[in-house]
Amino acid sequence: MKFIHRCIERLAGTVVRVRTTEPLVALTFDDGPDPQGTPALLERLAAHGAMATFFMIGKRAAEQPELVKTVHRAGHAIGNHTWDHPSLPLLSRAERRCQLRRTAEILPRQGRMLFRPPFGHFDAPSQLDVFLCAGQAVAWSAIIPDWEGRPAAELAELARQALHPGAILAMHDGLMDFTDACWRDRRPTIEAVDLLLSETAGRYKFVTLPELMRRGKPVRACWRMAPDLEMLHRLKRADGTARRYGREPS
Ligand SMILES: [Zn+2]
């Protein structure tokens, strides 16, 4: 049984970091493309010669095809972050596959589809669906909490502490779900990235996830995170829609 479990993990496990001795790091940004956040971030990354990976929301990508092309042409990697950011374990299998496939159809093709589960929520059926849709699930070695109004210097410090060869850092160039609309402002994140890239210049190289995974050995884990229903019910959505998940919080 242990052997079977290890085989499944090796084939379909979620990438959480990459084993390498080279000073390579992957910055990843979720929930875009965002008409303000994404171009401003692209400009900062270009100024530092840094590459990154953008896990895009299908619905937002469909609304902004030119911005998707701009990210792609700049050489950054693009991954799938579902069509409209649901918590995958709470969907039916058919809904889950639709979320994955519909998004994959409109994003530029770049080898095996990289996929990041919204909120990190993931269970065994979700993992299987990503695998069957030819996707590679990627979580993170550190997620920087840039959705609750923290200042740039604090975010930069947290990111700096999380740096190591093969690290995968998660941040947001957009924000699809939030509890306070003022936290949608992406300027603290962009300033934090700018600070991080300035302070680590010459010590770390920031590359796309596919490049990091090519140059090292991806570490796969059995990533499981149960949906937090109370948190989900508190959230407001950037597109104004309301998503209801089964029971209301008690
Ligand atoms: Zn997200």
Mean pLDDT by 10 residues, the chain (250 residues): 65 93 98 97 98 98 98 97 96 96 92 94 95 94 96 98 98 91 92 98 97 97 93 85 60
Is residue 69 one of the residues assigned to a domain?
yes
Is residue 6 one of the residues assigned to a domain?
yes
pTM: 0.94
Which of 199, 187, 207 has its CA nearest to residue 160?
A: 199
- Given the residues 85, 172, 177, 194, the one annotated as active site: 172
Is residue 247 one of the residues assigned to a domain?
no
Is residue 242 one of the residues assigned to a domain?
no
Instruction: Please count the structural domains in the chain.
Output: 1
User: Using CA atoms, how far apart are residues 179 and 205, in angstroms rounded to an integer?
Assistant: 34
Peptide bond into 33 cis (omega under 30): yes
Active site includes 76? Answer: no
- Given the residues 30, 84, 146, 173, the one annotated as active site: 30
Give residue 192's domain range: 2-237
The alpha carbon of 201 and the centre of ligand 1 are apart by a number of angstroms equal to 28
Is residue 248 one of the residues assigned to a domain?
no
Q: Give the domain CATH number at 70.
A: 3.20.20.370
- Do the beta carbons of residue 163 and residue 25 sit within 8 Å? yes
